[in-house]
Chain A
Amino acid sequence: MFDSLSDRLGATLDGLRGQGRLSEDDINRAMREIRLALLEADVNFGVVREFVAAVKERALGADVLQSLTPGQQVVKIVHEELTELMGTAGSGLSFASRPPTVILMAGLQGSGKTTACGKLARLLAKQKRSPAMVACDLQRPAAVQQLQTLGKSLQVPVFDQGVDADPVEVAAWGVEQARAQGRDVVIVDTAGRLHVDEELMGQLVRIKDAVKPHNVLLVLDSMTGQDAVSVAERFAEAVDYDGVILTKLDGDARGGAALAVRSVTGKPIKYVSVGEKLDQLEPFHPDRMASRILGMGDVMSLIERAQEQISEKDAKEMEAKLRKAEFTLDDFLDQLRQVRKMTAGQGMAGLLGMLPGVGRQVKNLKVDERQVDRVEAIILSMTPAERRNPRMIDGSRRKRIAAGSGSSVQQVNQLLGQFKQVQKMMRQIGKGKMPQFPGLGTR
């Protein structure tokens, strides 16, 4: 498997530092690495070719060898070019001057349309709008129930006419219902369809004509390969969508399909879906997507998530403790739980995958969440006094704690050793930063 592009370009170019000019050979080797990295990320073949040509030109023009790390310089160029290609940050939806605003969802089977409808409805409700949904996927069994279930959990009305109706009529009727009930946004879910299915694509066009949507969104699976280009093109020809929702980005797909959509159709990516829970829909950030495609990790998202999960009060308390250097095992446990909250739904590996340079290696890292459970069990088996002052934990206490938490004395020793390290580190860090946990389950 390939490492991140940074590592690869570093290996190719960093040895040449200070040599004045890049030879044609050097540059070609570097471009080959870029080409491989992009293909590995599912960027379309044709797009890769044009892109690499553009990067080559810029790399030749820039004095990359004057830099201490020529590899990083080229990575920077690649990243900038990619970011630019990705377009602007999540341009939102357009809203009708006379509500309701109609949003039509389209896409292949299994791309995540119905779930995306629910997520979008939740997002809109959070923005103080009053959304409704219309169930026009009469193709897949129980799709209507699925949307109804989502609607119920969100307390958003869902209009449906069962499965024996005509989807075009249901769509028009549903929008009227929403209007009559004073909803200001109405999201129309449609059946998944293959872009080459003339009949179903025709139906989609008729639905569009019937409801005159203010926004047509293509839902695209981030794991899509080279075929993303034909999907994006055909849907654009049929319904001329306004933007894309990129789904399943909580996995480890690099998402090069996003680039294909952008460069072939010019349509912006509006939202990205990053988990199965209904609140996991986020605005699109081109620079982050560029980093992801290059396997550079997504630090910004990680920081944001950390900020979301750790309340300001918690952070202040922690800071005070750090200043007084009285970091206890209770605090250690708190931190552990916060980390766990941040990783909720995707595990430690998911979180680590967002760190730069870690991305591709996570699969070998094997973060053992059971070990986190064990640490928790061990700490919970200590008395409050022990947690405040681990120094008092002698041999017989260790035995008791081990028995109480179903672990071995060695494991208790190990944890106490780790804690000591953390404590020491915390004293050094001073304040404000998120501490790292050495040795936490990396085996």
Chain B
Amino acid sequence: MFRTGDDEPGAAVETEEPTGLFRRLRDSISRSRRAMAQQLAAAVLDPSDDEVWERLEEALIQADCGVPATVAVVERLEAEAGAGTIATAEQLTARLQEVIAELMAPPADARIDVSHAPSVLLVTGVNGTGKTTTIGKIAWHLREAGRTCVIGAADTFRAAAGEQLETWADRAGADFVGSQSGADPAAVAFDAVAAAEARSRDVVIVDTAGRLHTQSHLMDELRKIHRVIAQRLDGAPHEVLLTIDATTGQNGLQQARLFAEAVDVTGIVLTKLDGTAKGGIVLAIAHELGIPVKLVGVGEGIEDLRPFDARDFARALFSADS
């Protein structure tokens, strides 16, 4: 999950069981999903079936992948089937997962960069997408990986946001830098970086207030937080993570676009993947903006965070009984 800069891959929490995510996904039941899944299963994606492409399209749309990304995937597979390289249902299923995994195109290293001293992670996103919870989970995983951590509460807007974050910091055994409600969030970010340096902590995670990407004054505030961090520490923030709620529809694309314009997002955390939503919007985001998903949130527990696995994701998009 983390790129630590130590040359031992074992130091990172990468040995996480990918099956956990699947078990959870399968555990969840939804009647309408089931009905859909039964349709899909009945066809078993047989490329000789004329309706298979329509079914495929339907499944991708239902997973919130959006029309352009769906069309891109289906057209490619259709062309391959036309050329004769896909003949059986097994081949189609396999290629489908490959194509989606390719589209999700993780960069050479999709881990969270914590190799600096200190490394600064800025976490941002729309209201209610799970920023604070994600930060608690990252901090916990960092501690599991033997890293110390300072959490800066730069959400000075929402009532009790600081308290919520402090609870997570306690649970994760991280230092907490808070502020008065209504304080300048950039100042809190600055203080958090300073605290990490003074106490020689490895990682600083800065929480920010939820904001709609359409609120230009709040997006300016976010730019300022980013700028102040960069001025305080060369090369920081090393990661800018955008939380996207898996239940989000096509608006997620616009969220990613505007947040990336403002603060150069380095990766997405796809949250709440433990429900029935498939989070297909990240396929649209990867397709149109090329922003990779780095982490997925799969539950309310502090350990419920996983590195993103494009193939697992692709499989889950179609997993019949999820």
Which residues of A pack against B, CB within 8 Å? 36, 39-42, 45, 108-112, 139-143, 145-146, 148-150, 153, 194-196, 221, 223-231, 233-234, 248, 250-254, 256-257, 276, 345-350, 353, 363, 367, 369
Known interface pairs A42-B249, A223-B249; A230-B32 also in contact (CB < 8 Å):
yes
Residues of A within 8 A of B250 (CB): 39-42, 225, 254
- Interface check B258, CB cutoff 8 A: yes
Residues 256-267 of B, flagged 1 when their CB comes within 8 A of A and 0 if not, give 011000000000
Which of B45-53, B123-131, B193-201 forms contacts with chain A?
B123-131
* Shortest beta-carbon distance from B307 to chain A in Å: 22
B163–A348 CB distance below 8 A:
no
B128–A227 CB distance below 8 A:
no
A194 CB contact (under 8 Å) in B162, B249, B275: B275
Q: CB-nearest residue of chain A relative to B129?
A: A110
A42 CB contact (under 8 Å) in B129, B164, B216, B251: B251
* Shortest beta-carbon distance from A360 to chain B in Å: 10
Residues 132-173 of B, flagged 1 when their CB comes within 8 A of A and 0 if not, give 000000000000000000000000011111111111100000
B276–A221 CB distance below 8 A:
no
Known interface pairs A248-B212, A252-B214, A369-B217; A230-B248 also in contact (CB < 8 Å):
no
- Can you list the 5 inter-chain pairs with the closest CB atoms, starting with the nearest? A225-B249, A110-B128, A42-B249, A141-B167, A149-B159
Q: CB-nearest residue of chain B relative to A366?
A: B216
Bound together, the chains give a CA A430 to CA B274 distance in angstroms of 60
Using C-beta atoms within 8 Å of the partner chain, give the interface range for chain B.
35 or more
B275–A195 CB distance below 8 A:
yes
Residues of A within 8 A of B257 (CB): 363
Bound together, the chains give a CA A276 to CA B157 distance in angstroms of 10
B214–A250 CB distance below 8 A:
yes
Bound together, the chains give a CA A348 to CA B219 distance in angstroms of 13
A196–B29 CB distance below 8 A:
yes
Residues of A within 8 A of B28 (CB): 194, 196
* Shortest beta-carbon distance from A113 to chain B in Å: 9
Residues 99-119 of B, flagged 1 when their CB comes within 8 A of A and 0 if not, give 000000000000000000000
Known interface pairs A227-B247, A234-B30; A145-B276 also in contact (CB < 8 Å):
no
Residues of B within 8 A of A256 (CB): 249
Known interface pairs A42-B249, A223-B252, A224-B247; A143-B67 also in contact (CB < 8 Å):
no
Bound together, the chains give a CA A82 to CA B159 distance in angstroms of 37
7 A-B pairs besides A251-B126, A345-B215 with CB distance below 8 A are A39-B66, A42-B250, A149-B160, A221-B128, A226-B61, A230-B31, A349-B216
B215–A347 CB distance below 8 A:
yes
B248–A248 CB distance below 8 A:
no
B276–A39 CB distance below 8 A:
no
Q: CB-nearest residue of chain B relative to A140?
A: B164
B159–A347 CB distance below 8 A:
no
Residues of A within 8 A of B33 (CB): 230
B249–A141 CB distance below 8 A:
no
Bound together, the chains give a CA A141 to CA B163 distance in angstroms of 7
* Shortest beta-carbon distance from B58 to chain A in Å: 6
Q: List 28 A-B contacts (CB under 8 A).
A: A45-B61, A45-B62, A108-B272, A110-B127, A110-B129, A112-B127, A141-B165, A141-B168, A145-B164, A146-B160, A149-B159, A153-B159, A196-B29, A224-B249, A225-B64, A227-B278, A233-B31, A233-B32, A248-B212, A250-B215, A251-B126, A251-B213, A252-B251, A252-B254, A346-B214, A347-B214, A349-B216, A363-B258
Residues of B within 8 A of A195 (CB): 30, 275-276
Residues of A within 8 A of B281 (CB): 225
Q: CB-nearest residue of chain A relative to B254?
A: A252
- Interface check B77, CB cutoff 8 A: no
Known interface pairs A143-B160, A233-B32, A256-B249; A112-B214 also in contact (CB < 8 Å):
no
A251–B67 CB distance below 8 A:
no
B254 CB contact (under 8 Å) in A142, A153, A363: A363
Bound together, the chains give a CA A350 to CA B215 distance in angstroms of 7
Residues of A within 8 A of B64 (CB): 42, 225-227
- Interface check B92, CB cutoff 8 A: no
B300–A108 CB distance below 8 A:
no
Residues of B within 8 A of A225 (CB): 64, 247-250, 252, 277, 280-281
Residues of B within 8 A of A227 (CB): 64, 247, 275-278
Residues of B within 8 A of A369 (CB): 216-217
Bound together, the chains give a CA A223 to CA B127 distance in angstroms of 11
Known interface pairs A194-B274, A363-B258; A349-B249 also in contact (CB < 8 Å):
no
Residues 16-45 of B, flagged 1 when their CB comes within 8 A of A and 0 if not, give 000000000001111111000000000000
Residues of B within 8 A of A42 (CB): 64, 249-251
* Shortest beta-carbon distance from A42 to chain B in Å: 3
- Interface check B245, CB cutoff 8 A: yes
B249–A226 CB distance below 8 A:
yes
A353–B214 CB distance below 8 A:
yes
Known interface pairs A111-B128, A194-B274, A227-B276; A145-B214 also in contact (CB < 8 Å):
no
A226–B300 CB distance below 8 A:
no
Residues of A within 8 A of B32 (CB): 229-230, 233
A36–B67 CB distance below 8 A:
yes
Bound together, the chains give a CA A181 to CA B300 distance in angstroms of 36
Residues of B within 8 A of A257 (CB): 249
A141–B164 CB distance below 8 A:
yes
Residues of B within 8 A of A112 (CB): 127-128
Task: Find the residue from A39, A40, A45, A141 having the highest chain B CB count within 10 A.
Answer: A141
Residues of A within 8 A of B245 (CB): 110, 221, 223
Q: CB-nearest residue of chain A relative to B63?
A: A226
Residues of A within 8 A of B216 (CB): 347-349, 367, 369
A139–B159 CB distance below 8 A:
no
Bound together, the chains give a CA A143 to CA B128 distance in angstroms of 13
Residues of B within 8 A of A248 (CB): 126-128, 212
